[in-house]
Amino acid sequence: MNIGCHVSIAKGLPAGRQGIEKAPKIAHKLGCEAVQIFTRSPSGGSFSEISGETAKNFKENCQRLGIKNIYVHTPYFINLASKNNRIYYGSINSIRKELERASELGAKYVMTHLGSAKDLGEEKSLKKITDALEKIFEDYSGSAKLLIENSAGAGQIIGSDFKQIGKIFSSTPDFDEYLAGICLDTQHSFASGYDWRNDFNNCIEALDKNIGLKNIKLIHSNDSATDFNSHKDRHANIGQGKIGLEGFEKLAAFAKENDIDMICETAYPGVIEDIKILKEMRDRKNNAQ
């Protein structure tokens, strides 16, 4: 079970203009054992191909600096339930491209949000999403696998309810060929009605019943700057939000027990302390054993 954070490859701290192949060095300085990146601008637009040399340097830097696992996040514009074909097929193509780019970089998983049901309603949207997943993986031969990330549930965003994600899994033919499982975001789930602070065991039961604990492949470890069940996506540093240290003690223990990496998506420079806190929680559990 490795702990790390999201590292920017764009202009600005902490990564500067150093690009993909330098991200492992930044991650190492922050204390990461695993790292998450965007391979392109998260807002979309044009992007450059990843050269063989860049991919080689990236993987060598990860190995040299002890970055054990790499994760890639898709851009934010993804909507696999849009009735606008430009957006729908653009989302399919973008996810497929990210899977291919992630495979070049040696990344384990690509995670994506699903989009909004505002165009079609929930039932038709879920059907459109399962169709899209099949299209994404047509003739795919890469090594990276896809994760669905749960959402905070603002508006009609799909994926805030574990039952909804479970329906996608159960209605996707040959599920294991298309999806590896989920990326569980602690803040998003707290904001959508899963109380890690006061109702941890029931949250785990809901996950197991609807998705299966074996299908949790990554945890986005973010405290919540907004109230329980607020349906707002607002991250806070560990212990400085509404979930609190007690909630993360339980989450870290669960992640360690099930060998699930934890990635922080919290603000720099506080993320350095977040990584330290989660490592201490993990190591205390080791000592207790």
Per-residue pLDDT tens digits of the chain, which is 289 residues long: 999 999 987 644 343 334 798 899 999 999 999 999 999 888 877 778 899 999 999 999 999 999 999 999 999 999 999 999 999 999 999 999 999 999 999 999 999 999 999 999 999 999 999 999 999 999 999 999 999 999 998 878 999 999 999 999 998 877 777 789 999 999 999 999 999 999 999 999 999 999 999 999 999 999 999 999 999 999 999 999 999 999 999 999 999 999 999 999 999 999 999 999 999 999 985 544 4
CB-CB contact of 241 with 257 (8 Å): no
The span from the CA of 114 to the CA of 159, in Å, is 7
**Nearest Cα to 216, choosing from 265, 260, 178?**
260
Q: Which domain holds residue 275?
A: 3-288
Counted residue by residue, the chain has a size of 289
**What's the number of domains the chain is made of?**
1
Q: Work out the angle between the directed axes of helices 85-105 and 122-136 (0-180°, nearest 10).
A: 40
* CB burial readout 171-195, b (16+ within 10 A) else e: ebeebeebbbbbbbbbbbbbbbbbb
> For the chain, how long is the longest CA-to-CA vector?
54
pTM above 0.85, yes or no: yes
- CATH (domain of 82): 3.20.20.150
My answer on whether omega of the bond before 14 falls inside 30° of 0, hence cis, is yes
